Amino acid sequence: MPKHTIKTNAARLLDDLAIDYKILTYPVDPNNLVANTTADKLGLPHEQVFKTLVIRGDRNGICLAVVSANAQLNLKALAKLSGDRKMLPVALKEVQPLTGYIRGGVTALACKKNYPTYVDEWIEAYEQIAVSAGTRGAMLWLSPQDYISATQATVGAIAV
């Protein structure tokens, strides 16, 4: 396993699982944490960079939804997949207390609690994907299969 200069809890988890990854870094503008901008800074197609959203269901509580930078989460599709009737994004002020991560650095890897994670099926279209490393300015570059395995995610159609 290569020595990485940035060690986040997400990277440590991948190390513990012996999963191969690279860390991609980019300059952070705290006033623009949009995933598409991150993809542009990394020189990657928007479809290959994935963002993690924190969602609350009316029956099952908090879950994480992982969709590509250019996709919008379909809350109805996520509700169907999760067994909830209604789902809403959590308020920004709740994100860090729930996940341990700040906006722009949320990842399903080594989250404060192991929330159910739902990943859009398009993730499997790529050999490698970028997901947050658990801090602003750093993304993990790894195979979608390794990411799904590390998060124990459910894969389904949740983006439009």
**CA separation for the pair 22, 140 (Å, rounded):** 6
The alpha-carbon radius of gyration of the chain (Å, integer) is 14
Q: What is the pLDDT of residue 1?
A: 41
Q: What is the pLDDT of residue 153?
A: 86
For residue 4, the one-letter residue type is H
pLDDT digits (tens, 9 = 90+) for 98-108: 999 999 999 99
What domains, with CATH codes, occur in the chain? Answer: 9-156 (3.90.960.10)
**CA separation for the pair 24, 152 (Å, rounded):** 23
pLDDT digits (tens, 9 = 90+) for 16-48: 999 999 999 999 998 999 999 999 999 999 999
Which residues have CB under 8 Å from 147's CB, separation 6+?
109, 119, 123, 129, 131, 140, 153
**CA separation for the pair 142, 139 (Å, rounded):** 10
